Structure 1
Amino acid sequence: MSKTIRQLHRGRWQSAIDLATRLCDSQTLPCVAIATGTEYEIEGLTHVGRQRLNHEAPLRDDAIFLVASITKPIVAMAALLLIERGELALADRVVETIPEFGCQGKYGIELRHLLTHTSGLVDMLPDNLELRKNHATLEQFVQRTCEESLTFSPGRGVQYQSMGFAMLGAIITRITGKSCARFLHDEFFVPLGLNDAALGATDDWFNGPSNKNERIPDALVPEGHTEGADWNWNSRYWRQLGAPWGGLLISARDLATYAQFMLRHGRSSDGQRLLSPAAIAAATRNQLECMRDVPEIERRCRPWGLGWRLDWPAHSANFGDLLSTHTYGHWGATGTVMWIDPEAGTFGIVLTTLPQEPSGKYLSRLSSAIAAAWE
């Protein structure tokens, strides 16, 4: 990879800011936070739009976003840390840690399958909405996943599966004796100085002097969720659940700091080694290549790392159209995307509150504008 230090072209970066501003001024997007940078610097952190859907107050400069599925690769890196320590291996079967999982054809599912979306598990449970309406616990989501049958045999297809990350969070908990949220906090968020990051808000976010809950902008919720004020994305229940598949709350600055940690191959800004370069490399290379029973078109055109979505040729999927083939990252259903381009040595972050479906095109356009600002 090139070690050339890239520079941000101020005129092109202003074009990216102008695009974000136009999208908010036209009420196409409620709000946008964008950031970019290298392993050395965070550049251009910008917040535009509204903090509340029905109020003109501007988006706070310290806004904290529910980033939805960007949670998944961050949880995946916690599993990689346990692999480094010899407490897990990719070939471990889930039933070795969670015996009750081994029914309905799921006995052969390995950790590798959870991390690459090749398990055959469903994305969302058939009774997902009922569980949320009843304020189900993470343990109840895990129990229901253990009861579900598969849509295909493990390792024989690719199907995006949020419930695979529900199981991953449960594995982390059973191995470490800590909740997935606490493990992330202790092993990554504290040493990286991520003071505005949590896998599920704690009570002090609502009742403490900082009142971080007020810093979370309102999200537009999908059709069918608008009546769920006590269980949808904007509810205290969901913000506190800490779903390993989509419950991360984080500011744009803290997410940018995490992207820098990845570009530094696992080191914090003060030189702490939190993950090995070997773990970063394994997580961000095509893990489907060697899975011979996965359809060839998936291995070649829609590759996955371990928790990270890689570059998909001819399918921008919100990463934009100007990034290298070595790019990896993730998106979130709440209207968020983060990408890291190790070839260029840069990253891009776009956080909105408009669901990415069917409006991911705005994330793609903003991503392209960010990529174009580097020279």
Structure 2
Amino acid sequence: MEQACDRGGRGSRRPNGSENGGGELSAPRLRVDTPERAGLDPEELQHLVREFHALTTGERPWAPGAVLVAGRGPVIAVQEASGWAVRYASYDPEADAGVELPPEARVPVRVDTPFDLASLTKLFTAVAAVQQIERGTLGIDARVGAYLPEFTAAVTHGITVRELLTHTSGLRPELPLYDCDDDAGRLDLLRAEPPIGVPGTYTYSDLNPLLLQHVLERITGRRLDVLVRDGITRPLGMTSTRFGPCPQAAATEDQRRPWAKADRGMLRGVVHDENAWALGGVAGHAGLFSTARDLAIFCRALLAGGAYGPARILGPDFVELLLTPPGLGFAIDQKWFMGELAGRGAAGHTGFTGTSLVLDPSTDTFVVLLANTVHPRRRPPDNTPRANTATRLARAVRGT
């Protein structure tokens, strides 16, 4: 199997570097098997697969390419790829259409094709933070200013780590860091940015995981990409998950103004998010690339209380902390993309490039849908396919 984004071998170590010992049994690894073995209704899953393949067909498909992995317990019951990882050479604004590559130059999607995860990166930042909370090196209700005294706005307004993890800091959704010419200017903007909303009130913001990244890097002395690799992806054997560049990833956008915030041309293998790009590709809110199978492992580990195979990345109590409403980094019961899986404690997230994952502890199910909906140009998001996919999985559980 192609490992386009491999950055190291497998491991089985705890976040603190110790082996998963103490007599603890290994958690089951994922395997591909029948819907019946997964405890899922095969007819509902057949509907799910047909609807999935329809997402990449037609002149204006929902996405040029997509990969779907879904299952229950340790069983992957659906693993499908459809469409094109690279279909367009550019975007033609006059025709409002993509300029298609000749068939021989297009790149088909495979089940192991990496995608730009966009905001799914936030989930890994959240897990890295909860790992530090578990160690006792980070206080969930500690003030950010206690770790970053030079972040004057956070100090003045008493922003806490919990507020960053729950998007209740009052910080605006984003800052135009991509317009700064140097790292010092970008850092000055972050340090001086005050809340514009009422603290304690939910306002989704990329600035929250960006500040959290600085906290984590300060208290550990390690970069976020190293924390994610050593604490999450390497122990779990997620060998195709890494921060970019990732040359074999599905293409994203022909990024040009005025529809984008920078003039970068057709993007493939480099982060789509303009702020993450300006920050060098490693950011708390965006920058990771991964495959659907790797993300299924991530979901399985959380559903199993933080363990996968011989590795444990979190203790069960801290997984519960992560996934208890309102969720630390994870969205909980968001019906607009979770469909009928919502309402039971399902957790997940979406990414601007067309990515999403949902895991439902109440039914032990997970679904990962990766797509390049912004290829060749971003458009208003249509979350109906995400919600429909989750609903089909929920009905497959009920139909058994």
TM-score normalised by the chain length of structure 1: 0.82
In structure 1, stretches of 5+ residues that fail to align are: 206-211, 287-303
Amino acid of the residue matched to residue 180 of structure 1?
L
1:23 equivalent in alignment to 2:23: no
Find out whether 1:168 has 2:212 as its counterpart.
yes
| Residue in structure 2 matched with residue 213 of structure 1 by the alignment | 247
Q: Name the structure where strand makes up a greater proportion of residues.
A: 2
| Partner in structure 2 of residue 38 of structure 1 | 72
* In 2, Cα distance between equivalents of 1:145 and 1:232: 29
Structure 2: distance between partners of 1:70 and 1:123: 16
> Aligned Cα RMSD in Å?
2.5
Structure 2 vs 1, CA of residues 142 and 320 (structure 1 numbering), >3 Å: closer, same or farther? farther
CA pair 361-141 structure 1, distance change in 2 beyond 3 A: farther
Moved more, 249-258 or 322-331: 322-331
- The aligned residue for residue 24 of structure 2 is none
C-alpha distance in 2 between matches for 1:180 and 1:35:
27
Matches within 5 A, 1:106-121: 106-121=156-171
Q: What residue number does 1:186 align with?
A: 230
Distance 1:353 1:221 in 2: 14
In the alignment, structure 1 residue 246 sits paired with structure 2 residue 286? yes
Q: Do the aligned partners of 1:231 and 1:237 also contact (CA within 8 Å) in 2?
A: no
Instruction: Compare 362-371 and 79-88 and name the one that shifted more.
Output: 362-371
- Does the CA contact (< 8 Å) of 1:24 and 1:32 recur in 2? yes
CA distance in 1, matches of 2:133, 2:343: 28
Name 2:330's counterpart in structure 1: 308
Aligned to 1:279: 318
CA distance in 1, matches of 2:111, 2:67: 9
Given candidates 130, 136, 144, the residue that maps to 2:179 is 130
Distance 1:106 1:36, change over 3 A: farther
For each residue in 1:61-94, what CA deviation from the matched residue of structure 2 results, as whole angstroms up to 9, or x when unmatched? Answer: 3211111111112211111110111101111111
In the alignment, residue 164 of structure 1 is paired with which amino acid? N
2:194 maps to 149
Identity of aligned residues (%): 26
**1:61–1:114 distance in 2 versus 1, CA, 3 Å:** same
- Which residues in structure 2 correspond to 1:1-375 (within 5 Å)? 6-26=38-58, 27-54=61-88, 55=101, 56-103=106-153, 106-125=156-175, 127-131=176-180, 134=181, 137=183, 141-155=186-200, 157-198=201-242, 200-201=243-244, 212-219=246-253, 224-226=258-260, 228-230=262-264, 234=268, 236=270, 241-270=281-310, 272-286=311-325, 304-312=326-334, 316-355=335-374, 357-374=380-397, 375=400
Query: How far apart are the structure 2 equivalents of 1:229 and 1:63?
Result: 26
Q: Is the 8 A contact 2:347 2:358 kept in 1?
A: yes
Q: Deviations over 1:21-55 (max 9, x none)?
A: 11211223211111112341223111101111324
Pairwise CA distance, 1:13? 1.4
324-333 or 8-17, which moves further after superposition? 8-17
User: 1: distance between equivalents of 2:83 and 2:151?
Assistant: 45
SS of structure 2 residue aligned to 1:100: coil
Q: CA deviation at 1:222?
A: 9.2
Residue type at the aligned position of 1:149: P
Letter in 1 for 2:191: C
Per the alignment, residue 21 of structure 2 pairs with: none
Do the aligned partners of 1:63 and 1:251 also contact (CA within 8 Å) in 2? yes
Deviation string for 1:233-273 (max 9, x for gaps)? 64736566122112121100000000000001011223x22
SS in 2 for 1:348: strand
Query: What SS does the corresponding residue of 2:247 show, helix, strand or coil?
Result: helix
**Match for 2:302: what amino acid?**
M
Counterparts of 1:7 and 1:194, CA distance in 2: 25
Matching residue's letter, 1:70 = L
Label 1:24 to 1:216 Cα distance change in 2 as closer, same or farther (>3 A): closer
Paired with 2:341 and 2:271, the residues of 1 have a C-alpha distance of: 39
Report the 3-state secondary structure (helix = DSSP H, G, I; strand = E; otherwise coil) of the residue aligned with 1:118.
Answer: coil
1:282: how far off? 0.9
Amino acid at match of 2:250: I
Change (3 A) 1:13 1:261: same
Measured at CA, do residues 348 and 112 of structure 1 come closer, stay the same or move farther in structure 2, by a change above 3 Å? same
